[in-house]
Amino acid sequence: MNSENQNKVGAGRSSRFEKIERIPPLKMLLYMSMAGMGILFLVVIMLFLHRVMTLPFSYVFKVPKLFSLSTVILLVSGFFIHYVPMFYRQDNLLQLKRNMRWTLVLGIVFTLSQVVAWYEMTQSGVYFSGQAVGTYLYLLSAMHLLHLAGGLAFLSVLFLKVNRAASDPIRHLVYIRDPFRRMQLEMLRTYWHFMDGLWLALYFVFVFAL
């Protein structure tokens, strides 16, 4: 009886290892990169909160209004990117292209809104080289924007490839049968949702900490 239980436990462990081994190297690299980014942001957030705790009670800081707007924009872009792999599986390159275009546009709008939010902060007297809390606020939002820029670059490259494939029947057929393209779109969706969740966490930290 014990040997049977041990075999079951061993089988469970081996099956988990087999699942990990079946993950493509590029996806594994993406997961490891996201884990590293998560740890990095967690450390900086903890330093930011430590600084907030040392602030005098008279210190008043308002989170830029555009941070709220940019949060909505990024979440809407996540809605569009979520269905991209599904449209690929359905061989619907037209809808796939539309969703990728909207995601790209909203990502650019989010970037611009962040830049305007920084300007709003400077106008209210919060500078990068001033109060340490303001420095961390600029740093965290800039770090997120930098990582999002990588996603925007990847999205732009994939969008150009989809646009090219949609304009030619032969390229369409080759593109839609390529499992590597499907994996790229799934990786893009995973990374974009990670960026969404990361910014949402940062936004709530800003709102409730200040």
Over residues 10-66, the pLDDT tens digits come to: 545 556 666 666 778 889 999 999 999 999 999 999 999 988 887 665 566 778 888
Domain annotation for the chain: domains and CATH numbers: 25-209 (1.20.120.80)
pLDDT at 1 over 90: no
How many of the other CB atoms lie within 10 Å of CB of 27? 14
Q: What is the pLDDT of residue 45?
A: 94
Higher-confidence residue of 75 and 125: namely 75
Predicted model pTM? 0.87
Model confidence at 73: pLDDT above 90: yes
Calculate the alpha carbon distances from 168 to 172, 176, 179, 182, 198 in Å: 6, 12, 19, 19, 38
Q: How far is CA 185 from CA 17, 75, 97, 141, in A?
A: 25, 18, 12, 26
Amino acid 54 reads T
167-184 pLDDT, tens digit per residue, is 888 888 888 888 889 999
